[in-house]
Structure 1
Amino acid sequence: MNIPWSADGLWWLALLVQLLAIPGTLLPLLPGLIWLPVGGLVWIAAVGWQQAWLEFAVALVLFGLGLVSDLLALGLASMRLKASRWSAAGAGVGLVLGVFGLLPALPFGGPLLGALFGPWLGALVVETWVTKKPPRNLGWLEALRQGSVVGLAVVAGLLVSRLAQLFLALLGIAAFIGLSFR
């Protein structure tokens, strides 16, 4: 059975797809800004490339800016504190464990609390372990202090990146609405 889609129906579908970017910007494990260009592709399918190229281009640029905000937020926080390259990996593992409630310290927190404390705990453990070993050979207390500071910086970077991506998602949705009625 072939259901005919009108351009209006596909506009609403494209908008709905782009609205999926909002939850993804708040929870890092969900796809976020990638939904902006996907919605743009739906709109291209409805009205053609000549009519919808600008909406798609804006969505791609905003998606790229979101990727840059992730790299900058985590990179600058880690670089400023001279963190090891493994702290971001530890934060990533902690994020997955925290969001899915697999951290024993967070059985009551839920995904949002896990998304905050998981990366901190992961970066803390990894950074403490790395700074305890040569060449840095810090004592346990100093390594634990360095690990907790790096963990906080990683979480702060994640929060800044999430806010930037939420802003970019809202901007992308507003731009799609405004540009599609030109």
Structure 2
Amino acid sequence: MQIIYWLLVALMVVGIIGAVVPAIPGTSLILIAIIIWGIVSSSFVAITIPLIVTVIVLLLSVGVDFLAGYLGAKQAGASKWGQIGAVVGLLLGFFGLLPTLPFGGPLLGIFFGPLLGAIIGEYIYRRQFWLAVKAGVGIVVGTLIGNLIQGVLAIAAVIVFLVTTWPQVFGG
């Protein structure tokens, strides 16, 4: 039983990483691990609080994701073109289709893709390079701040799980 517990905790750690790094599942992995623990331990009563907290964290994470990107874009004066460019850049960067990145693969593309995409999208719309750069940086900074907040929320969900289930597994 302890081996399964530690494997699920490891899955939750991947979920924490995924909450911060785009394109890796985050809080949803934590939720899945908690549900699996409820099934394996045959004690859904023991996971009621972690389950509720994690569902709330998942909903908050979605809200933070949209709000942080929006506020970052708004603060920098970005248009919808910059936001669309950031999404396209993220996808192209993740799949390694950025010709300017012959090394680093998807992980590096995830970080540079949205920035380049936002700058290109904003430049197409405004035709002013420095405004496009400002908007691109604003979108990326907003997204990074949102990802950090999601990471903190994911850590909180895992801590709640550990605190409530530890006595069940290890006694005490």
Equivalence for 1:29? 23
Computing the radius of gyration over CA atoms, which structure comes out larger, 1 or 2?
Answer: 1
2:82 paired with 1:97: no
Unaligned runs of 5+ in 1: 1-5, 132-139
Equivalence for 1:152? 137
Relative contact order higher in (CA < 8 Å, ≥ 6 apart): 2
Preserved contact between residue 36 and residue 60 of structure 1 (Cα < 8 Å): no
Equivalence for 1:17? 11
Equivalence for 2:161? 176
Instruction: Show the 5 A alignment for 1:28-67.
Output: 28-45=22-39, 46-67=41-62
Unaligned runs of 5+ in 2: 168-172
Q: CA deviation at 1:31?
A: 0.9
Preserved contact between residue 22 and residue 166 of structure 1 (Cα < 8 Å): yes
What percent of counterpart residues are identical? Answer: 33
Looking at structure 1, the residues matched to 151 and 47 of structure 2 have their Cα atoms a distance apart, in angstroms, of: 23
User: Taking structure 2 as the reference length, what is the TM-score of the superposition?
Assistant: 0.85
Preserved contact between residue 72 and residue 143 of structure 2 (Cα < 8 Å): no
Q: CA deviation at 1:22?
A: 2.7
Structure having the higher helix fraction is 2
Q: CA deviation at 1:19?
A: 2.1
- 1:118 maps to which of 95, 104, 113: 113
User: Taking structure 1 as the reference length, what is the TM-score of the superposition?
Assistant: 0.81
Q: CA RMSD in A?
A: 1.9
